[in-house]
């Protein structure tokens, strides 16, 4: 199984400041055939299901604010919230979908400082 880790259980950021969440996979999720990283980011607010924010490591889903961006390749990935808003308080999960069983990171809780 590919093990996903996230560098922080939680972080607190001031409103309007940048939040950076790191994710690492135990094996590369980059396929050289198509040069795509099979890595997604989800946002989960209390009492709600996860919401897909970013797929293919850096492709924002329709309707996701452009303050959210994803980067990285291979085994190391980052989700950046460029200017934290109150509605961004949530837990963020990375997930690999390159191979079964599909696995998620443990989550990073983002709060307002």
* Binding residues for other proteins (CB under 8 A): 1, 38, 40, 42, 48-52, 55, 61, 93, 95, 97-107
The H-or-E segment that residue 109 falls in is: strand 108-112
Q: Which residue has the tokens 């409103």?
A: 15
Select 65 or 106, whichever has its Cβ closest to other proteins: 106
Cβ at position 12, least distance to other proteins in Å: 19
Query: How far from 16 is each of 34, 45, 79, CA to CA, in Å?
Result: 36, 19, 16
Select 31 or 83, whichever has its Cβ closest to other proteins: 31
Select 24 or 51, whichever has its Cβ closest to other proteins: 51
**CB neighbours of 104 closer than 8 A, spacing ≥ 6?**
4, 42, 93, 94, 95
The whole-angstrom distance between residue 20's C-alpha and the CA centroid of its chain comes to 9
Select 16 or 49, whichever has its Cβ closest to other proteins: 49
Cβ at position 99, least distance to other proteins in Å: 8
Cβ at position 19, least distance to other proteins in Å: 19
């Amino acid at each position: 199984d590919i093990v996903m880790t996230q560098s922080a259980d939680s972080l607190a950021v001031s409103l309007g400041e940048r939040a950076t969440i790191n994710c690492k996979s135990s094996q590369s999720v980059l396929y050289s055939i198509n040069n795509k990283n099979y890595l997604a980011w989800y946002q989960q607010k209390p009492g709600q299901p996860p919401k897909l924010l970013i797929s293919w490591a850096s492709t924002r889903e329709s309707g996701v604010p452009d303050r959210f961006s994803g980067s990285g390749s291979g085994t190391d990935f980052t989700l950046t919230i460029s200017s934290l808003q109150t509605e961004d308080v949530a837990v963020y999960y990375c997930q690999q979908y390159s191979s079964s069983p599909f696995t998620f990171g443990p989550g990073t809780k983002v709060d307002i400082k």
